[in-house]
Structure 1
Amino acid sequence: MLSEIQTYLERLSDRRTAILKTLNGLDPDALDWKPLATDANSLTVLAVHSLGAERRWLHEVVGGKKVQRDRDAEFRARAQDVTALKAMYTAAAVESEQILSQLSAEDMDATRKLPQGAHTVRWAILHVLEHYCEHLAQMYLTRQLWENRTNRPHEI
């Protein structure tokens, strides 16, 4: 396996672990709570959407596997058992590793043509990492706001 791929897999694993740690110990009310009535997402939505993006970009675009993704439904997701989310993340991680571990240096520079433009395989992998980081930061903040919502009700 390319050392570049090994690094990407480690970073992906770190992001997934951090997301699941952020959800750990929360009940459905906390998982579905939004800090604002509009233009904000719950922890459930952010977790489901982030995973949907990984499956789309790594499994479908990079790996060539058909993914049944309903992006709009990701933003309507309601709390699942955290155990179910962990299982979904574990299954996606296994599939992502199988796909990425087979890539060659030439594959990394290969271009995938999509309706929204052409991107290299490397770009797709980095995009997933970037996407996870963006939503993980939102999840950290959302959890902090949830945990402090009764202490400072006028600031939220």
Structure 2
Amino acid sequence: MTAPPAVQTLIDFSLVKLDEIVDAVGALDDATANAVPAVPGANSPYALLTHCLGMMRRWSSTVNLGVTVPRDRDAEFSAAGPVADLIVRAAEVRRAFLDDLAATDWAAPPVAPATGYGPWSQTTFGVLLHVFEELCQHLGHLEITLDLLRAGDPEP
């Protein structure tokens, strides 16, 4: 299915933000990617990218298409591992996300709408806009995390 022009623009912007997150984490060594700034409640760059990947598929597949993608949101924030493996996973999720969007009926409501959210969650475009919002938020979160890691010693 071809996305309407406004939807395609939002898809393009979303991919730019995802790629910026992936590039930033991909430029790190394993120790830095898995480090957590010495700030209560902070997350590692690795965990932030892991969370973004889970978030994207939840909304694009589980919500918009009704195809459940297993996810443990809490575990995303404690995820750790080799950067190279995460970058491979990010490429796989990016492709799956694009496949989800190609299968989305932009004129129909989400197949499995999320509850507890605003009216935006009742449209497939609103769901995609939310993904973009989250990617932008977590890109900023990642940039601050990297600033903190560069400025001081992370927690072990």
Percent of aligned positions with the same letter in both sequences?
28
Instruction: Determine the structure 2 residue equivalent to 1:146.
Output: 149
Q: Give a deviation string over 1:33-82, Cα, whole Å, max 9, x none.
A: 2223421111111111111100111111112211110111111111x222
Instruction: Determine the structure 1 residue equivalent to 2:30.
Output: 28
Q: Hey, what's the Cα distance between the residues in 2 that align with 1:84 and 1:137?
A: 23
- Gaps in structure 1 of 5+ consecutive residues: none
**1:8-47 residue pairs with structure 2 within 5 A?**
8-47=10-49
Q: 1:77 aligns with which of 76, 79, 88?
A: 79
Q: By how many angstroms is 1:148 displaced? A: 2.8
Aligned CA distance change for structure 1 residues 74 and 105 (closer, same or farther; 3 Å)? closer
| Stretches of 4+ aligned residues off by more than 6 angstroms | none
CA contact (8 A) 2:59 2:128 kept: yes
Tell me the number of residue pairs that the alignment of Structure 1 and Structure 2 aligns.
Answer: 148
Instruction: Determine the structure 2 residue equivalent to 1:63.
Output: 65
CA contact (8 A) 2:7 2:125 kept: no
Instruction: Determine the structure 2 residue equivalent to 1:126.
Output: 129
Q: By how many angstroms is 1:113 displaced? A: 3.2
- Gaps in structure 2 of 5+ consecutive residues: none
CA contact (8 A) 1:5 1:101 kept: no
Instruction: Determine the structure 2 residue equivalent to 1:49.
Output: 51
Q: What secondary structure, in the 3-state scheme, does the structure 2 residue paired with 1:114 have? A: coil
User: Which structure has the bigger radius of gyration?
Assistant: 1
Q: What secondary structure, in the 3-state scheme, does the structure 2 residue paired with 1:135 have? A: helix
Give the aligned CA root-mean-square deviation in angstroms: 2.1
The structure carrying a bigger strand percent of its residues is 1
Once the two structures are overlaid, the 10-residue window that deviates more, 141-150 or 40-49, is 141-150
TM-score, normalising length: structure 2 = 0.83
